[in-house]
Copies of this chain bind each other. A is one copy, B any other.
Amino acid sequence: MSILAKYAARARQVNSLVCVGLDSHLDWLPTIFRQHPTPQFAFNRQIIDATHPYVSAYKPNIAFYEARGAQGWHELKLTLDYLRAAYPDIVTIGDAKRADIGSTNDAYIRALFDDLGFDAVTLHPYLGREALQPFLNRADKACIILCRTSNPGAGEFQDLLVAGKPLWQVVAERVAQTWNEHKNCMLVVGATYPQEMAQIRQAVGDDMTFLVPGIGAQGGDVAQVIPAGINTRGLGLIINSARGILLADQPAPAAQTLRDSINHYRGGTL
């Protein structure tokens, strides 16, 4: 089963397009976890056990684990091992934002797909398809290419016009039309740019899934994002929330509320 099919099956099973961003910054953790020998893993396990009934994907941002060196990397692996064992139907996304020349990407693939075992990773487009081919060749995994990022200054390069089209649209069309030979590509489209999201949906059609960061703390709004990005089957979006769920007094109701809010604005049925 492809990762896209795995996501669609899970989304139908729990009626949810929610992804929880496991951005478990040590400084954010409650004191009780900071005293634990594996604080990030202990925190993640509690979040996962509480929220999984409402969740179709988990997305650790690797930066927050690297910030703790070898110990953080170890706890990231514990988290992935736990997810795979306890909730194998849930998609795991490594928010790594990698991309190097081809032979170096082989090493990142070993780290992210084979050692940690992520189902999908996020990738920078700047080096082009040829460099990313080792990732793209993994039909058993998914490649999520940065297209329109959620940060306020995303437009500095992404808005530059190339033959009348913004660069983000060129990236979206390239990925959809020529990189997606194995039907394993997705795009990162920030929740903070619903207008561009609607244009990208129009440009790439129904069969491209968007990973959507930027809901909540960054200012993205479900009411605008869902109509802009949803496809005609009521799918095509992976809506990420990190701080809004991790730092909630009660993470499970926070995840459920986000799921229900998305479903409220969602056309189509699962």
Contact = CB atoms under 8 A, between A and B. Distances in A.
Interface of A: 23, 25, 61, 63-64, 66-71, 73-74, 77, 95, 97-102, 104-105, 107-108, 110-112, 115-116, 124-131, 146, 149-158, 160-163, 167, 170-171, 174, 213, 218
A201 B98 CA distance: 27
A173 to B, nearest CB: 12
Given A131-B149, A160-B167, A64 B126 contact: no
Nearest to A99: B97
Nearest to A71: B70
A129 B100 contact: no
11 contacts: A63-B105, A66-B108, A69-B111, A69-B116, A97-B100, A101-B149, A128-B154, A130-B153, A130-B156, A131-B151, A162-B162
Given A108-B63, A156-B174, A170-B160, A150 B69 contact: no
Contacts of A128: 151, 153-158
| Central interface residue in A102, A112, A149, by most chain B CB within 10 Å | A149
Contacts of A126: 124-126, 146, 149, 157-158
Nearest to A179: B156
Q: Which 7 pairs of residues, A with B, have the shortest CB-CB distance? A: A130-B153, A128-B156, A63-B107, A66-B111, A70-B74, A67-B107, A128-B153
A151 B67 contact: no
A148 B150 CA distance: 25
A163 B125 CA distance: 21
Given A97-B99, A126-B157, A127-B153, A69 B77 contact: yes
Contacts of A153: 127-131
B66 A101 contact: no
Contacts of A155: 128
| Central interface residue in A71, A150, A160, A161, by most chain B CB within 10 Å | A160
Nearest to A130: B153
